[in-house]
Amino acid sequence: MVQVTPSPPTVTPAEQASRPYGDRYARLSDADRRTFAEQGFLLIRGALDEPLRNRVEQAVDRVHAGERRAGRLGPNGGMHVLGAVFRDETLTELLDLPATFPCVWGQLGWNIYVHHSHIDVNPPVTRDEPPAWRWHQDGYRQNADLDMEPRPMFSLKVAYVLSDLSEPGRGGTLVLPGSQYSNTLERTEQGPDGHYARPPGTVEISAEPGDAFVFDRRLWHSRSPNLSAVTRKMVFLCYTYRWIRWRDDVAINRHGDWWRQMSPLRRQLLGDADEAASHFGFTLESGVWDDAIPLRAELKARGLLDRSHHYLR
């Protein structure tokens, strides 16, 4: 394997922190676009105001309590559940959150949906938890079935931080800035204590409750061990193109009040389509772009389609 040697960040994580966007249809700023392209991630301070952060955390706690009753938690009460946006109505508020959504469609375009979402609850590690190499790129077979370097981005994730991860040792996410353009990462050697050394250039994302970060699925990243007294709570939404299959097993009741009261945009982001061809962005009858796709319709009406970015044509 070829070792990734990321170039030094042009800005520090603190300097690259973005202000949250206030309009879900705001244009992605040139500075944020450049930072994302160079570093592979974008930190957005204060993406969740405190009332929303509190509601989302309560939703996470409800899901956690349900998993506890079902006996599906880890040995120390840890939880990793898929299909997060279907687990609690509150979490659908994150689908098109104005603070972060411009960073999604601004990088992927309008033919998108959330094919994967998860909730992570990571209490402090127990003494007998074995060391593990957790560095990875997202995408599973996308990283094996495509013979090219670098591989396409295909998807990005928005990670919402609910706990105070502002200090090292609280299970913060580790990233290698700029590594999204390298297909491989060489595993580091284990030390005398059995733990793996961090790859050179590793940055631990320092985040306050309510912060969010958006990252390219190809960015090499890892969860770090939680050595503190704080329980790490996070929600992740992964956006991809509508012609890519679901990652999570979900069942949608399109006849219930929850679905009927959803906005057309949110229904799109939850996988809705009038016909199979719509997933490819066109109508079968016309063979041209489908202006009825909610996000495309909104962007077109606002003059935000942009041929200089191929995914916004």
Strand order in the sheet with 221-223: 203-204, 173-175, 221-223
Q: Which domains does the chain have, with CATH numbers?
A: 30-273 (2.60.120.620)
Per-residue pLDDT of the chain (313 residues; tens, 9 = 90+): 334 444 444 455 545 689 999 999 999 999 999 999 999 999 999 999 999 999 999 999 999 999 999 999 998 999 999 999 999 999 999 999 999 999 999 999 999 999 999 999 999 987 667 788 999 999 999 999 999 999 999 999 999 999 999 999 999 999 999 999 999 999 999 988 888 999 999 999 999 999 999 999 999 999 999 999 999 999 999 999 999 999 999 988 888 999 999 999 999 999 999 899 999 999 988 888 899 999 999 999 999 999 999 999 9
Query: How far does Cα 31 stand from its chain's mean position?
Result: 20
The whole-model pTM stands at: 0.94
* 266 vs 295: CA distance, rounded Å: 9
Q: What is the pLDDT of residues 22-60, one digit of tens each?
A: 999 999 999 999 999 999 999 999 999 999 999 999 999
